[in-house]
Amino acid sequence: TPTEYEAEYNLLRTGEYSRFHGYAYDGIWALALSIHAVIVRLRANDTRISEFSLTLMTFLSVFFFFFFAATFQGPVRFFRNERKGQILLKQFQKGEEVKIGEYDCLTDALDLAKGLPIIWRGGLDPPMDRTLIVIERTRVNLTIYAVLCILCVLGIILASVFLVINVKFRNQRYIKMSSPYLNNLIIVGCILTYTSVILLGMDSGFTSVTNFPYICAARAWVLMSGFTLAFGAMFSKTWRVHAIFTNIKLNKKVIKDYKLFMVVGVFLMLDVIILTTWQIVDPFYREARQGQPVVSTLFEA
């Protein structure tokens, strides 16, 4: 029995202890049983092992046939150069090594009822056998985005009201003196800039993957057009005031609105050339990148 073998091993060993002694014991028994099976096979043919006249390769083939088929009480056998048998499962509990179950290699059965219950660290569930990797997309904070969208919509509504007032009362003296048509360009530029904020906050969660590159292109076109209209119109008006007040000869110098529109048109033309070249040479595309891993504290034992 295993207990008798363990006692005899402890009696005969000279101080050294090897945890592989059981494997050696089973291996020797497997060799002995294989040789015995070969002898029995030869006796069946009225042949002694000393009279075995076949080649060495033939003998080895017969020997290994019985070796790999060897089984004996315990239950232990060798299969594909591996020792198959029952494995005792133990765990340290309260400073002692206790049995928690058995695993049968022959039937591939795990029995945790033959022993004390397993004590898992951190709770009743077993720990994970691998690192759990959860891939999450970095998204725009929905609350912040909603607040900004509301503010932008209010800005668009307010700008639209100013646009209606500027068009309706364009012949009023104060509005007429401030170049109402340039004011319209400034208001339209502000509306486009507010719209670009909404577009810049959109990510792939609000639209499909196919349409996302078009959203990226719209961001650039709307933002640059809005900034150029608003800044270009204000720059033109400022330039006209500068030209009038720096007139040394104090001549009556009139700068028509169409000249100011031409300045804004030049700025817009530069934007169109730059954006068109950009779209042709290096068009927008969607690319997903993996960021730095973050260790979560939700799954710690």
- pLDDT tens for 142-160 read 889 899 999 999 999 999 9
CA dihedral 217, 219, 220, 223 (to 10 degrees): 150
Residues of the chain with pLDDT under 70: 1-2, 20, 38-39, 41-85, 106, 122-124, 247-254, 297-301
Q: Give the pLDDT score at 189.
A: 94
Which residue type, as a one-letter code, is found at position 38?
V
Q: Give the pLDDT score at 51.
A: 53
Element (H, E) at 91: strand 86-93
Q: Give the pLDDT score at 18.
A: 76
Per-residue pLDDT of 95-104, as tens digits, reads 888 888 888 7
User: Is residue 86 helix, strand or coil?
Assistant: strand
Q: What are the start-end ranges of the E strands in 30-85?
A: 71-72, 76-79, 82-84
What is the rounded end-to-end Cα distance, in angstroms, of the chain? Answer: 41
Tokens representing residue 165 in the block: 């007032």
Euclidean distance between CA atoms 233 and 237, whole angstroms: 6
Within 8 A by CB and 6+ apart from 152, the residues are: 194, 195, 197, 198
**Torsions phi, psi of 150, nearest 5?**
-65, -45
Reported for 268-271, long-range contacts at CB under 8 A and 24+ positions apart, including other chains, are 268/225, 268/228, 268/229, 268/232, 271/224, 271/225, 271/228
Euclidean distance between CA atoms 54 and 139, whole angstroms: 77
- The length of the chain in residues reads 301
Q: Give the pLDDT score at 55.
A: 47
Reported pTM: 0.55
Tokens representing residue 140 in the block: 């725009």
